[in-house]
Amino acid sequence: MRTVFGADEQSEMQIDVLRWVRLARLVLDEERVPDDAEMSLIFVDEQAMTDLNERFLGGAGPTDVLAFPMDDDVTPGGRQPDQGGRGPGSPSEADEPPAVIGDVVVCPRVASRQAVRHGNAVADELALLVVHGVLHLLNYDHAEDRESEAMRSRERELLARFRELENG
């Protein structure tokens, strides 16, 4: 089972960590990430986000979401015939470590301000940031127009799927 570790390391806003962990796991499932994959989803305050943004991206001030990929070679799940994979249903080797995808860090306070500017509910903004961050871990990007549209389209599909599952 794909594992998402969730942590709320801020006290500025009430966060339903389990809800966002479910969303992150949905993205991993829908993207067919290997079953043994692990990632972390961490909610931090503005000072922590500012520190991370400055230290790792050379940015100034807090940002909404950061993604820190770990394994560059995470392969999609299922059988990869041309790559000699073990195929679906094959047990993992006992000595193989899990595929650590990386960490997604979200700043709820920044998300809250953005929600107001965009005319969205804070929960909708947080959902978008979680999906956006996980997709970055899975090599989605938005540097070029074509990539950006593909990423936005996938975000919309995943968010719609999440709403559908939540609403039963």
| Structural domains of the chain, with CATH | 3-80+97-166 (3.40.390.30)
Alpha helices, H only, 31-144 = 46-52, 108-118, 122-137
109-155 pLDDT per residue, tens: 999 999 999 999 999 999 999 999 999 999 999 889 999 999 999 99
Other Cβ atoms less than 10 A from the Cβ of 20: the count is 24
In this prediction the pTM is: 0.85
Residue closest to 63 by CA, chosen among 94, 35, 14, 104: 104
128, 157 contact by CB (below 8 A):
no
Distances (CA, A) of 56 to 39, 52, 53: 19, 6, 6
For residue 99, the model assigns a pLDDT of 87
97-109 pLDDT per residue, tens: 778 999 999 999 9
- Sign of torsion, CA 16 19 21 27? negative
106, 15 contact by CB (below 8 A):
no
Tokens at 4, concatenated: 């998402």
